[in-house]
Amino acid sequence: MQALADRLIHSLGHDPSTWAYTQLVYLVFMLIVGGALTTFAAVFSGVLSWYERRVAARMQSRIGPNRVGPGGFLVWVADALKLITKEDVIPAEGDPILFRMGPYFVVTGLVLTFVALPFGDRLIAADMNLGLFYVLSVTALVVVGIIISAWSSNSKWSLVGGIRSAAQVISYEIPAGLAVMVPVLLAGSLSTQGIIRAQGGPDSGSFWQIGGWPWNWFCFDDPMAFVSFFVFFTAALAEGNRTPFDLPEAESELVAGYNTEYSGMRFSYFFLTEWANVWVMSALATLLFLGGWQIPGVAPAAVDHSAGLVFASVLIFVVKTLLLVNVVVWLRWTLPRIRVDQMMILCWKYLVPIEMGAVLLTALWMWGFSYLPSAAVSAFHLLFFVVAGAVPLYFFVRQTAQNLRLTGDHVDLTNW
């Protein structure tokens, strides 16, 4: 975005390095970009709340929201207006200052992650050298906000939910961080854009060698990276308090957990963060393992010189991310909630040892493959994609189609 601001200053006939108002222009750009990213997070959260309720209704053979707007689409707008106008209640025995601050910590930790998350080639607020490290760092504010909210409520149920959240997020940050190390090793970079560009294949070659073909994705680079993708996705679900890991807000025993005492708009901030975090976890999985915005058959360097290719890169990244968002929604309405001890056992006894081994084996794998010719490496990537990606996808689609034929299931849009 700084390059865009510099281009604007040049168009006005000034040199950004000497013009007296350069910093003011930078500030205006920062405010515009920050407002746009915050608006995107809020709107996406609202739309996802509608979509998730529709998917839940579809899976449970009911209609779901269908009264406000076409297909009930505007129900999230009605919910936002209702929450804004509801009374803001603060517990008399709680800490009023920390109680008010808690939700803002949560929202701030979420919005700051969008600074280093790309939406396409050149479409990123700040392409930092340590962008991935920055994203993993600022997300810690979310759990800080949850703990502050739980403690300041002066409620036993809220406190238990906050303690669960602290134990859960801190624990699952370890396998998630180890899983992130695998694509970092493969790319040799902590820049989010650098990791994506490393999944573009060779700089030159045939149409089927360059660009974001699936066999160039880190997910199909080697068996350890393939396993790391699922470990990262599982850990991200746990860090985002998504089912089956929604223990901090388990309504059956905690009466909504850490946010029990909240009402009105402050109550909605927690769910705004949870739904927007679905985009964050899906976007991270996409850029780390699924090629990001890479266009199949197009070298990464060629994307910079065409506005049409830049738009295509944005479209590809958004589609990949939304597909993972859909998977997250499916999982919520498919899997039951697990127990706290099962959640901790999964993390410490399985995911952490698996990822420690994956990081070590990835380093050894890279060292061994460095002695092979590039043609042999490309052939292995293609073979591994067929075995681990194409074949399982074929059987999944075939089984799904067979289930639909046997049950006579169909989508009826007349009640929308």
Phi and psi at 296, nearest 5°, equal -60, 130
Q: With pLDDT > 70 as the criterion, what percentage of the chain qualifies?
A: 96
Residue 369 lies in a domain: yes
Q: What is the pLDDT of residue 63?
A: 83
Boundary-marking domain end, from 50, 85, 120 = 85
Are both 391 and 294 inside the same structural domain?
yes
Residue 147 lies in a domain: yes
DSSP for 314-382, written as a single string: HHHHHHHHHHHHHHHHHHHTTSPPPPHHHHHHIIIIIIHHHHHHHHHHHHHHHHHHTTS-HHHHHHHHH
Are both 102 and 66 inside the same structural domain?
no
Q: What is the pLDDT of residue 410?
A: 65
Write the CB contacts of 36 (distance below 8 Å, at least 6 apart in sequence).
none
Q: Distance (Å, rounded) from C-alpha 383 to C-alpha 389?
A: 10
Are both 138 and 161 inside the same structural domain?
yes
Contact predicate 234/351, CB 8 Å: yes
Q: Distance (Å, rounded) from C-alpha 239 to C-alpha 233?
A: 10
Q: Distance (Å, rounded) from C-alpha 317 to C-alpha 211?
A: 14
Q: Distance (Å, rounded) from C-alpha 221 to C-alpha 377?
A: 9
Q: Distance (Å, rounded) from C-alpha 172 to C-alpha 54?
A: 30
Contact predicate 109/135, CB 8 Å: no
Give the pLDDT confidence of 53-85 residue by residue, as tens digits. 998 988 888 888 888 888 889 999 999 999 889
* 388 CB-side CA count, 13 A: 21
Q: Distance (Å, rounded) from C-alpha 35 to C-alpha 167?
A: 33
Residue 416 has pLDDT above 60, yes or no: no
Q: What is the pLDDT of residue 220?
A: 92
Are both 213 and 80 inside the same structural domain?
no
The amino acid sitting at 144 is: V
Q: What is the pLDDT of residue 229?
A: 96
> Residue 56 CB: number of other CB atoms within 10 A?
14
Boundary-marking domain end, from 53, 85, 117 = 85
Are both 23 and 150 inside the same structural domain?
no
Residue 415 lies in a domain: no
Residue 404 lies in a domain: no
Contact predicate 416/70, CB 8 Å: yes
Residue 185 lies in a domain: yes
* 230 CB-side CA count, 13 A: 10
Q: Distance (Å, rounded) from C-alpha 165 to C-alpha 150?
A: 10
Confidence band, pLDDT 50/70/90 cuts, at residue 415 = low
Are both 213 and 342 inside the same structural domain?
yes
Q: What is the pLDDT of residue 254?
A: 64
Are both 48 and 118 inside the same structural domain?
no
Residue 87 has pLDDT above 90, yes or no: no
CA angle 212, 316, 226 (to 5 degrees): 50
Residue-averaged pLDDT of the chain = 87
Overall number of domains in the chain: 2
Q: What is the pLDDT of residue 210?
A: 86
Q: What is the pLDDT of residue 66?
A: 85
Q: Distance (Å, rounded) from C-alpha 5 to C-alpha 22?
A: 9
Residue 192 lies in a domain: yes
Phi and psi at 351, nearest 5°, equal -65, -45
Give the pLDDT confidence of 221-279 residue by residue, as tens digits. 999 999 999 999 999 999 888 888 888 777 667 667 788 888 888 888 888 888 999 99
Q: Would you state the structure tokens that stand for residue 267, as one six-digit string?
A: 């109550």
Q: Distance (Å, rounded) from C-alpha 43 to C-alpha 31?
A: 18
Helices marked H in 220-306 — which ranges? 223-239, 251-254, 264-289, 300-303
Are both 156 and 66 inside the same structural domain?
no
- Domain housing 372: 88-399
Q: Distance (Å, rounded) from C-alpha 77 to C-alpha 47?
A: 9
Are both 5 and 112 inside the same structural domain?
no
Least confident stretch, 84-88, 161-165, 216-220, 389-393: 161-165
Q: What is the pLDDT of residue 235?
A: 94
The average pLDDT across 312-341 equals: 91
Phi and psi at 297, nearest 5°, equal 80, 0
**318 exposure class (CB count in 10 Å sphere: 0-12, 13-18, 19+):** middle
Q: What is the pLDDT of residue 411?
A: 62
Residue 405 lies in a domain: no
Residue 414 has pLDDT above 80, yes or no: no
Phi and psi at 123, nearest 5°, equal -100, 80
Contact predicate 329/274, CB 8 Å: no
Boundary-marking domain end, from 64, 85, 106 = 85
Give the pLDDT confidence of 137-190 residue by residue, as tens digits. 888 888 888 889 889 988 888 888 888 888 888 899 999 999 999 999 999 999
Residue 35 lies in a domain: yes
Q: Distance (Å, rounded) from C-alpha 306 to C-alpha 3?
A: 17
Contact predicate 26/375, CB 8 Å: no
Are both 311 and 326 inside the same structural domain?
yes
Q: What is the pLDDT of residue 160?
A: 84
Are both 97 and 48 inside the same structural domain?
no
Are both 105 and 225 inside the same structural domain?
yes
